[in-house]
Each structure stands twice: as structure tokens, then as C-alpha cells.
Chains A and B, each alone.
Chain A
């Protein structure tokens, strides 16, 4: 057992935290208000190597370990959970290519992402299918050397800016998860129709839209892992992405915690700083212990991945616990700030709004518990 980070990992963490504090935090409120993508910040993050951490070095990436990418994600989410979503969505979309793509596909699709800042969007959820991902209805039909895609996708992060869409569809909805097929669709392919930008509660700077695919024709060489082979790729993607989302919850929670500790020392009530009151101390102690526990779960889920061991159970533990903790911690941060916490003049109400999404996307907290229960009762 070893809980220490390597000197390189400490440096990676320092850089990512420095970037989060100097570049992201000072402008988090501004982009939350404007609800636009902070393109200059995202591009700067890409220049420093903080984006697309999943790309292997053979294709121009940095071959980061899963632990490395958790460290980066946690730090970036500390800076702004919304901006981190725009960054993390790239990994979510590129992971299916890393996992299920051929060498040729990886060269064709991944390498351009290492040469300039490009944006990818992951398209799984549909208007009528969120948690029930096996029930998706977007059709993928064979037509000679091509595939024709038709259907509606919903809540697609980065959609308005995407250079690449990685889409899950089905060759036959009655086959359920056995018909799921993954494809890559490049921007500008005729038939892609973007919906309006969603006006969201949190993560407001990230671009979320519905996307309609009207008989979009792509070559078969854009299919990942063959017809009806998509479910396996999707499940493996989740093993990577769920710990990442959990890491972002740890980052957001740590930000709320740091604000709370600072404020509790400054705010005087009954002639003493409120940090002297046990009611406040207990809330802050609860925050600290939950953050530590959540981080350990994230790191264990990542460690299993790095050591090529099954991590589905740990990924769900981490995702559920970190997301629920983040919600509790950011809510308590608002409580500690009192009336000021409810005002947009102070930073914590945004954290509370941002935290909520982490319990919802990438498998709700309830779906994580279903996964956990399934692991318990079918083993």
C-alpha cells in the first residue's frame, strides 16, 4: 500500500491547481452569468496539456495514467465545475475511440486533437432514454459501404462547438443492448441539426444542446468495434469516465470546503469567529472527512484501472459517494455563509448549483446504487 503521489504527480497537481486558481476561478462567475464557452481559457488549458488526458503517446498524447487524469480533473473542477465539464466531455467522447478504435481510426481521429484545440461531443442520451441507455432508438442502418444514422440525441455537452460526435445508436431497438453500435461522425456531415443551447441551472458555461441526426451518411470505416459491438465499449468507457466525474465532484467539494473554512474564520457572531461554534465546526469536519473518503474511492477506482483489474464496482462507489458528498458539502457551504451564501455576490451558491448536475449526469446516484446492488446480488 502506498498513498503518496509521485514527484511528477505532485507537479501535475501543482500546475493544474495553479491554472485553476489563476485562470479559471477569477472568471468562473463571469462565464456562469454569460452562459458562454470560455474558449480562451479552454484553449490555454489545451496548450498546457490539461485537455484530452486519455490520448496515448503513440497518437500524440501524454499517456497519462488514470490516477494522473483524476488529479488533473479534480484540480480543474476546483477552478470551475462548468468549465471542467467542457474539458472532461472531450475525454468522455474520445475514450470510446481509445478503447474500441483501430490503429487507423486512432490516428485519424485522436491525433488531430493533439495538434490543435478541438472539441468532441459524446452522444448517448435521447429525449426518452437517459438511465435506460440500452433502450436508445437512434437507428443505424447499413447501406453498402456506408451507415445511415437517424434519431434524436439530448443533453449533448459541447454540441454547439463539436468537431467530432461520438454516437451510440442501435441497428434494431428490439435487440436492446445487443444492438448498440458506436460510430464517429465528423462536423459538417450533412444532416446534423443542432438544437438551441439549453438554459441550465448550473455548469452554465458549458454548451448543452439537443442534436438531431437526419439520415446522416458516414463511411463504415467510422464505426468503432463493428456492428452491435457498442455496448461493451460503452461499459468500458464508463469504467474510466465515472471515476473522472467523481474526481470533479471532489474538486468542487474541496473548493466549497476551502471557502467555508476561510469564511468561518472571518465571520464574527456572538463576538467570536463562527469557527468557534460547534455547529459550524461539525459541518466543516463532515466536509473534510467526506472529501478525503471520496478522494480515496476515486484513487482506488483509478488504481484498479491502471493495474488492469475490474473497477466497475469501485467506479460506482466513487461516483455515487463523491457526487452525493459534493451536493451535501456545497449545500452546507451556503448554510455556513448564511444570507451571503444565497447571494450571487459570493461564490458558494454557484457551487451548489453546479454540484447538482454531478448527481445526475454520467449515471445518476440511483443508477450507481443499481450497479452496486447488481454486483452484490449476482456475484
Chain B
């Protein structure tokens, strides 16, 4: 099987996010990058499917800046065979990323039997790339998948829906499966794995190579800013019964005029 995994590099969850002075993006220089945690499940699932289907290859794809290749190196250290990086700014919109990924798959010369990704990236939380890519490739897709079973041609996946219920889908491959937490436990990249990853092929492509141009831009980011600081909470003194009536009146009034919830 030709298995592809789409990964994104996102700021470490402990990173302090600072918008750039002009508001066009966030400061990227001071960021420690990690692989998007949901994508780790996708890499692990790819390796599990590969182990169950002898002769399969796992190819990792990423669109983003080449300054740090953490996510791709980690995926190869975990066991993926090769990687493609489409060099681009880190703030392309979902459509451009999906189109670039499609182009990278074409450049690899391999026809995908299975594409895996995380259900969403934890930085911009768009939740769009998997579905757009599947549509572009004219293949079925299932997202928020927490269970994966099956052969090289037919699989059964379970996806989580509101309220904790599960939907069960029978899917014919090729398909795109976007993984959620719970589908597996991602392995650590072992030290021998890290050493071996150095020798695995990492191909760098440009946006032009994969047929993406500015004309593909669907979203223009106008301004990045931090959410407004939360005002401090208000305390009411209702320690004795005498004050109670006036406090209740005040709270109800504020809920009407300030919070506007009544």
C-alpha cells in the first residue's frame, strides 16, 4: 500500500504567542515547533497499517517553512520511509495547503491507497484541509476517527459525534482518514530511529513545483491579535441576611445591563 500522512508543524503548547507588529501573522522566530499532536496519531496509524500490510510505504507530507523540519524528522524517526516538504510561509489558507499537498502527492509518483491526517491543527483550528484535499482527489473522507480496522482495500472506522456517540463507516480505499485522540498511542521516536532518520530521503519542493500560486488564495488574514484580557470578577457581600435583598437586586440588574444575559 502507498500510505501518505499529512503533518503540520505547530507552536509548542507552552509557547507564548505574540502577534507581529503589523498584525499580519504571529512572531515565528521565538517559537519552538512541534508536530501537531493530532498528526502524531496519523503517523502512528500509518505505521500500524504498514506493519499489517507487508511491502507498504509511508510517505510524510508537510507544507510550511523550511527553517525547522521538526515534524518531518520526528515522523521519519518514528518509522516513516520518506518525506516531502513544500516550502511556503506558515500562514497559507486551507485551500492552498490542500492544493499543495495534492501536488506533492503527484510529485511523489505514487498513487495513494490511504491518506491519513490529524482531524485538526491545534494552531489555527480550521479543520478544513483533510476534507478539501479528499474532495480535490475525489476520494471519500472520514474525520474525527477514533477506531480503525480493516484490510488493504476495505476498512471500518468509527468516528465520534456530539454526545459521545460513535458512527461506524465501512469505507473502500483509497480514502482519507482524519484521526482523533484515542485511535492509538503514538510511539516515541527511539534513539536508533532518530539516527536512521538522518539517512532517509527528504525532498523539498516549491509552491510552483506543486502548481500553487497566489491566485489560489481564498482567505486573506487581515489582523492577528491576542484575545482581550478578561476583566476581574466581581464580589458581592451577602454575608448577612439583611444585605441579601439588595445584593440580589444588584446582581439581577447587572446581569441585565452589563452581561445582557437576562
**Chain A residues engaging chain B, CB cutoff 8 angstroms:** 7-8, 11-12, 15, 18-19, 47-50, 62, 64
Contact = CB atoms under 8 A, between A and B. Distances in A.
Interface string B8-41: 0000000000000000000000000000000000
Contact of A62 (B69, B73, B74, B195): B195
Contacts, number: 31
Interface stretch (B134-142, B153-161, B184-192): B184-192
- Ordered nearest first, which 5 A-B pairs have the shortest CB separation? A49-B191, A48-B190, A11-B194, A49-B190, A49-B192
Chain B interface main SS type: helix
19 contacts: A7-B69, A8-B198, A11-B74, A11-B189, A11-B194, A12-B191, A12-B194, A15-B188, A15-B189, A15-B190, A15-B191, A19-B188, A47-B190, A49-B190, A49-B191, A49-B192, A50-B191, A62-B192, A64-B191
Given A15-B191, A15-B194, 15 more contacts: A7-B73, A8-B198, A11-B77, A11-B194, A12-B194, A15-B188, A15-B190, A47-B190, A49-B190, A49-B191, A49-B192, A50-B191, A62-B191, A62-B192, A62-B195
Nearest to A19: B188
A29 to B, nearest CB: 22
A7 B198 CA distance: 10
Contacts of A18: 188
A265 to B, nearest CB: 13
Nearest to A7: B73
B194 to A, nearest CB: 5
Contacts of A47: 190
Contacts of B198: 8
Contacts of B74: 11
Nearest to B194: A11
Contacts of A15: 188-191, 194
A187 to B, nearest CB: 27
Interface in B183-235: 188-192, 194-195, 198
B188 to A, nearest CB: 5
A49 B198 CA distance: 16
A18 B194 CA distance: 14
Nearest to A22: B188
Nearest to A51: B191
Interface residues of B, number: 12
Contacts of A50: 191
A50 B192 CA distance: 10
Contacts of B69: 7
Contacts of B194: 8, 11-12, 15
Contact of A48 (B73, B191, B195): B191
Interface string B55-93: 000000000000001000110010000000000000000
A12 B195 CA distance: 9
B184 to A, nearest CB: 16
A8 B198 CA distance: 8
Contacts of A64: 191
A11 B198 CA distance: 11
A39 to B, nearest CB: 18
A272 to B, nearest CB: 15
A8 to B, nearest CB: 6
A12 B74 CA distance: 11
B99 to A, nearest CB: 29
B195 A8 contact: yes
Contacts of A7: 69, 73
